[in-house]
Each structure stands twice: as C-alpha cells, then as structure tokens.
Chain A
C-alpha cells in the first residue's frame, strides 16, 4: 500500500524480475599446444555473414607466415545455433586445435 506520510506517498512494491535459475556447470578447457608448427588447425565458419571470407584470410595469413601449420577450413553443417557432432568428431580425430569464427 502507498501511504501518505509528510505530504508524499511511501510504499512497498514487488520486484518485477524473474528468478535466476542458474546452476552453471563449468567445463574445463582443453590443454594448450606447445607449438602450432606441424599441427592441424581447423577453422570453423559458424555461419554469420563475412565469417567464411574472414577465415579464408586467416588461412592465407598462416600460409604466408607460418607455412608449417596445416589449416583446414570448414563450414558448420547447420546455422549458427545448431550443433554439428560430425564436424566435432572430425576435428577431434584429425585436428589439434580449432578456431571458431566469426561471431557477431
């Protein structure tokens, strides 16, 4: 109730916000590589416009500056919101690291 006190109304109201549901289960990160030379790096286009072309330029940078790094450029099978277990399995099987891009 809003009550009049000394010429102004005072009261108690309910918080309009929903309740956090959150238990966040942290997952550990993969260990890092000692070097990229001699390794296979997957570059995965997640599907936002311009991302594939950007990653092509990253591939180009590696070939010019670090030719001992093998790069494999792939597109995700579905759009940016979908899972792609087959691609993840390929990366785990044949790759040493993965770069996802480009968000936004």
Chain B
C-alpha cells in the first residue's frame, strides 16, 4: 500500500523494477492523521480507483494473476544520441527549458565547440565513465562520461578552469537534489590551492551572488543532477516544497588562511596542499542573526539553535566567520573538535521532542527497537525527561567561511557525506585559464581602512 499521492510514481517505478506489484492506495496524508481519520481511510475508497479500499486489497491477494503479470515484459529505455537535432538557437533554448533540462535560468547552449573547449579543462578522456546517479534510492541510474559532465558545465556558464572542481563533484555520484518529500538542501565546499587558482570567494559574502566561480560550480552541480541523475518533477523528484538551496548548493570555499583551526579537508585526512571538494546534505539553515558574545557566547547561542533540530545522527555543520572561530579559540576551544564536544555535552531536549520528530520516529525508532543505545533507553523515558541528542561529536562539523565584517555564523543540520579529490581531474599542463579570465569585483579592504576613500 502507498498513499494515493504516489500512485503515478508507483506506476513508473514498477517498470523500473520489472515487477508490477499489486497496489492499493489509501488517501493521503497518512502521517499525522487521527485514528478516526485513518479508520475512515480504511473503511472508505481508494481515491485513484473509487473502489472500496479493503475489497481492493482482498482482490489483490486473491484474484488470479493475469497473463501479463505472469509474463512480465523486460523494458529498457533506449540509449540517447550524442547530438540533438540541428535547430535554430531560440528553438534549442526553448527545447532545453521545456524538456526540464535546465534550472529555469538561461543557459549556455552546449555546442560541440564549447564542449570541446570545456574538455581542455581536464586530462581525462571525453568517453571516460565518471559515474552513475539517480536522485532516488532505487530508480534506474543514469551513466555519465567526462563529456556529459562537460555538457552540463557549459550549460551552467562555467569555463575550463572550473572543470576539475565540477568533475570532482560529479565523481561523488551524489546528486544535489536527492529526492525526498522532505526536500533536501546541499552544500559543496572547496579546500586547497584550487580556491585561489580559480578565484573562488571564501571571504566577505562568500555565500552570496558575488563570485563567478562559486556561482557556476554550484549551478553546474544542479544541472548535472537534473540531467545525469534523472530528476523529473513529480516523476522522480517529490520534494513537497522543494528547497531553494537547490539552485546553487551553498557553493563556497573555506577561508583557510583566516581560520585559527585546521582546514576541513585536513581534518578528513587530506594534505593541506591537496585540493578537495566536500559535500553535505541537510534541511535547515539558521542565521545567528547577531554577533557572537554580545550577550551570550557563540557556543551557548548555537546550543539554543540546535534545540530546534531533530538531531538526526548528530548531524550539525556550523559555517562560521573567522572572527567567531578566533573568539572561540580565545575562550579555550583549541580545536573544532573541542567545540563539537562542548555542544554534544550541553545541548539538551526532551525525549518527547526527540521522538516526536517524524524523521527520528522513522529512522531511529527501529534502531531503538533493536536495542541500540542510547536510543533504546531514550525510547522508554517519560516525555519530559531531558536527553543529550547530539551523541556523536564526530558528526558535528565546523567550516570557516566569511570576511570578518562581524563574528556571525550559520547553524545547519547538514550531514557531511564525503570528499573527493579535485587534483585527480586537473589537466596535465595546469589549470586552463582563459586569456582574460572572467572575474567579478572583489571586496576591497586594507588594514588601515583608507582604501576606497576619495583623494
């Protein structure tokens, strides 16, 4: 049984799995409904057929299999031609948009010449398979080559200099918009020398639309997720509200130079001189909305914010301005791990709040029933009993991004998923920069505050 909202999805999904299971569809939603409503659902009709739900269910179990059910047909989607039909430019733009191959914004059409130019941004062969992706768990994965990634990089407006980073992201085989009714958001962060080689922004306004590299790399991940991970609205993508982060995926770089702590990629086992992308997945971002240590230290302020999250798997990623990091280090937090441990030990919510979160009910409820601690104990606590839900400080991440205009930060429930090497994808002769590389204005600043003043 699946709720009627997913009847279309199920019809398509049965093809993918080669077995047309018999389904009955109660009305939706089921989650959050009273017992009286659920009983009405059971005693009422399947909204997709109009037939009494329980009679349909009994028929599903008792009516003999049809000829088609006994002989399921093997279906395979045809391979796609490399080139689209020749057409006028405006028709091609229309086709890309109306086919759902874009994010709704104008794209750069991926002509053979443009794609060939993008391919000079890596030493890898155009026909090398980079990976396979789907935005769902069990749908058919699409396979993609270096050239396919180049096509989507061109569409995003990227240049060959950005291509190693985009290939590194593609090599993770993780889409930027995994399909869930809950609507995930993503972050992609870059570490290492590549940041300056391609002039990424990791200072003032790094997460805002003021940097070309940040913009096109983040966008490229979205486009290659739409096209290489088979994202089709209502067919494979079911995000109920969607997530606005899906446009750029918080693409930024870490401000390693201004950070008082180890860079994120070094924490994850890479050498400082390696260039790496790291990706994260979650739902929520809370702005500190005010500077650290004004009334409360950043740790206490963050602890308050973390109480709003379900604390699933202890996932936290703090995106903090270098000034926040400096302040915390002065307060005695010698490492990022010290901050994570403090939060783990000091954030408390009630057991009722924890188990009342749908996502904990679904994912940690089974873990508790299997007897895994501390969840098994938490499941037996009175609702008002306090627990410390962030049990694993190793899942609590800190990245340092920002331009030191004030000690401010973002608190997110983002889970770190993986990192991938950018260096693997570099061209042999070094990063392929244009003769006059495109660069947006950078923030001007100087220590004595005189730059920018007239005279």
Name A's B-contacting residues (CB within 8 A).
1-2, 8-29, 31-36, 41, 47-51, 53-54, 57-58, 60-61, 65, 75-82, 97, 99-104
A27 touches B72 (CB 8 A): yes
Least CB separation from B54: chain A residue: A61
Could you say which of A11, A58, A100 contacts B89, with CB atoms under 8 Å apart? Answer: A11
Q: State whether B61 touches A33 (Cβ < 8 A).
A: yes
User: Using Cβ atoms and an 8 Å threshold, which residues of chain B touch A41?
Assistant: 61
Residues in B281-318 with C-beta less than 8 Å from chain A: none
Nearest CB of A to B192, in Å:
28
B310 CB, nearest partner CB in chain A, Å: 13
Could you tell me if B32 and A11 are in contact, using CB atoms closer than 8 angstroms? no
In whole angstroms, what is the CA distance A16 to B370 when docked? 45
In the complex, what's the smallest C-beta–C-beta distance from A41 to chain B, in angstroms?
A: 7
**Could you tell me the distance between the alpha carbons of A22 and B79 in the complex, rounded to whole angstroms?**
10
Main secondary structure of the interface of A (DSSP, over half): loop
Determine the chain B residues whose CB is within 8 A of the CB of A11 once the complex forms. Answer: 86-87, 89, 92, 109, 111
B3 contacts A13, C-beta separation under 8 Å? no
A57 partner, pick from B39, B69, B140, beta carbons under 8 A: B39
Q: B140–A24 contact, CB under 8 A?
A: yes
Question: Judging by beta carbons under 8 Å apart, are B90 and A8 in contact?
Answer: yes
Q: Mark out the residues of chain B between 81 and 107 whose CB falls within 8 Å of any chain A CB in the assembled complex.
A: 81-90, 92, 96, 101
B38, B101, B147: the one within 8 Å of A54 (CB): B38
Known contacts A18-B230, A24-B140, A54-B26; 5 further A-B pairs (Cβ under 8 A): A1-B112, A20-B77, A26-B73, A29-B19, A99-B57
User: Is A20 a contact of B30 with CB atoms below 8 Å?
Assistant: no
Q: Are A81 and B137 CB-contacts (below 8 A) given A14-B83, A19-B79, A50-B33?
A: yes
Tell me whether B133 is interfacial, beta carbon within 8 Å: yes
Partner of B30, one of A10, A49, A78, A99: A49
* A49 CB, min distance to chain B CBs, angstroms: 4
Specify which of B19, B30, B137 is in contact with A51 (CB 8 Å cutoff).
B30
CB atoms of A29 and B21 under 8 A apart: yes
* B 377-419 to A, binary, CB cutoff 8 A, 1 in contact else 0: 0000000000000000000000000000000000000000000
- Taking a contact as CB atoms under 8 Å apart, the answer to whether A32 and B223 are in contact is no
